[in-house]
Amino acid sequence: MAKKELVITSRDVHLSYGDFEALKGISLNFKKNQITALIGPSGCGKSTYLRLLNRMNDLIPNVHISGEIKVDGQDIYASGEDVVALRKKVGMVFQQPNPFPFSIYENVIYGLRLAGVKDRATLDQAVETSLKQAAIWDEVKDKLHESALSLSGGQQQRVCIARVLAVQPEVILLDEPTSALDPISSTQIENMLLELRDRYTIIIVTHNMQQASRISDETAFFLAGKVIEMDDTKKIFLNPKEKETEDYISGRFG
């Protein structure tokens, strides 16, 4: 594989919730235009780590963070860092679809509108482009002004993805985006992510190993707050270096 540019680098990251150390020294790098999967048994710190990358853990009281995380070479935890700008650059999709209870159209342009974009044509264009990228345009193009809550779970999740795409981030973080969805919706979202890979850097947490093996270029295996190993997805699934990885992959625990 050709050497790719690194978009996110992290070194020796520790995080504790109060006295409980959830991340015990994580060092991971993420390459541009690539899908990286984070796998591991539940409670091992995947979400915690993912949420560090756009500073969503800032909301939780009593969290202590050490180590270094850089996005595009910038230390995102340096004092004076613009969290709002960071989150525009590093968008996030959650496990439960969480559209705003507004129309589909409003949902998609919400970020843009608040950024001050008023021109109707620009907004219309952004809605169409984002919904197309999120592979849901054909299903909703005739009901853009209906409530996003009237859609199915899978459709809502794709609208949420479109909402993130509309702000034109560089990186998209997804935390088990399909675990609340049916298999067909999951496949649609997987295919969409493969399409998006050419433009975005994607990091996806999943507990579904088939999913990781189908769509990711690299996979990192988490266990109890540590990364056991990270490598090309094929290597992780076919001949992992570590015994724990092999045990997990072959379904011996988790």
Ligand X SMILES: Nc1ncnc2c1ncn2[C@@H]1O[C@H](COP(=O)(O)OP(=O)(O)O)[C@@H](O)[C@H]1O
Q: Which of 10, 34, 48, 219 binds ligand X (CB under 6 A)?
A: 48
Q: Which of 10, 34, 36, 47 binds Mg ion (CB under 5 A)?
A: 47
Q: What is the DSSP letter of 148?
A: G
Q: Is 17 in the site for ligand X (CB under 6 A)?
A: yes
177/162 Cα distance (integer angstroms): 13
Q: Is 10 in the site for ligand X (CB under 6 A)?
A: no
Do 170 and 200 meet the contact criterion of CB atoms below 8 Å apart? yes
Q: Which two tokens stand for residue 247?
A: 């045990």
57/217 Cα distance (integer angstroms): 27
Interacting stretch for ligand X, rule CB under 6 A, among 1-9, 44-52, 83-91, 211-219?
44-52
Q: Is 233 in the site for another protein (CB under 8 A)?
A: no
CB-wise, 41 or 194, nearer to ligand X?
41
Q: Which of 167, 189, 196, 212 binds another protein (CB under 8 A)?
A: 167
CB-wise, 77 or 100, nearer to another protein?
100
Q: Which residues contact residue 114 at a Cβ distance below 8 angstroms, ignoring those fewer than 6 apart?
A: none
Interacting stretch for ligand X, rule CB under 6 A, among 46-54, 87-95, 149-157, 192-200?
46-54
Size of interface with ligand X, in residues (CB under 6 A): 12
SS (H, E, C) 159-204: HHHHHHHHCCCCEEEEECCCCCCCHHHHHHHHHHHHHHCCCCEEEE
* Gyration radius from the chain CA atoms: 18
Do 190 and 184 meet the contact criterion of CB atoms below 8 Å apart? no
- Residues lying near another protein in the complex (CB under 8 A) are found at 54, 56, 59, 61, 84-85, 87-88, 91-92, 94, 96, 98-103, 105-106, 110-111, 114-115, 145-147, 149-150, 160, 163-164, 167
- Residues lying near ligand X in the complex (CB under 6 A) are found at 17, 20, 22, 40, 42-48, 60
